[in-house]
Amino acid sequence: MILLLAGLPGAGKTTIARALAPALNATILNRDAIRGALFLPQDLDYSAQQNHIATRTLLQVVEYLLSRDTQRIIILDGRPMSRSSQIDQIAQIAAKTGHELRILHCVAPPDLIASRLASELASTSLSPASPPVDDRLTKTIGIARDFEPITRPHLVVDTSRSPDENLPVILAWLANQ
């Protein structure tokens, strides 16, 4: 199975991924972590081109791993998946490798998302080229405005609730799909 986490930056996708991975014996693949592994800190610019390179690499790794293991469960994290074409790419890989696609749409109130982004940026050592908090918030607002409706079956997860509250709901939903 591919478990695709969709949602705005700061919506809690990574927190949900970390809670689910042990419960599902799943591997988490995070686009942001891949970008960080591909580019040295002084080369990170968080540009659309770097995002594209990291996403392309992520998709290649997903297809490679799933083609080798029909029982593998991969949780995809680190990209909003705000466009139906992005979800379609993942669906194509799932179909090609014989895996099911499940989608969790992580949502949270805007003030909580803003607080999470500010906290995340304050607590991490980012490269000098890292976008400032205001830029991240502006970009997130833009993503929110342009977020396309998810037309495939999915579960909306309110991440203002704790992972301990969400985990049983998610696991039950996955079991009944």
For 38, 59, 172, 175, the CA distances from 30, given in Å and listed in that order, are 12, 11, 24, 24
DSSP state of 75: E
Tokens of 9: 């930056």
Residue type, 21: A
For 63, 78, 106, 143, the CA distances from 33, given in Å and listed in that order, are 18, 8, 19, 20
Residue 53: partners with Cβ closer than 8 Å, 6 or more residues away: 35, 38
> Which one, of 8, 3, 2, lies nearest residue 147 by Cα?
8
**pLDDT, one tens digit for every residue, the chain (177 residues):** 999 999 988 899 999 999 999 999 999 999 989 998 999 988 888 788 988 999 999 999 999 999 999 899 999 998 888 889 999 999 999 999 999 999 999 999 988 988 888 887 666 555 444 555 556 556 666 666 778 889 999 999 999 999 999 999 999 999 997
Look at residue 39 in the predicted model and tell me its pLDDT: 92
Alpha helices in 69-132 (DSSP H): 84-97, 110-123
Residue type, 17: A
Look at residue 142 in the predicted model and tell me its pLDDT: 60
> Using CA atoms, how far apart are residues 176 and 11, in angstroms rounded to an integer?
25
* Beta carbons within 10 angstroms of residue 177's beta carbon: 10
> Using CA atoms, how far apart are residues 62 and 103, in angstroms rounded to an integer?
16
Range of the domain at 51: 2-175
Which CATH number do you get for residue 47?
Answer: 3.40.50.300
> Using CA atoms, how far apart are residues 144 and 48, in angstroms rounded to an integer?
17
**In contact, 18 and 166? CB cutoff 8 Å:** no
**Tally of domains in the chain:** 1
**In contact, 78 and 33? CB cutoff 8 Å:** yes
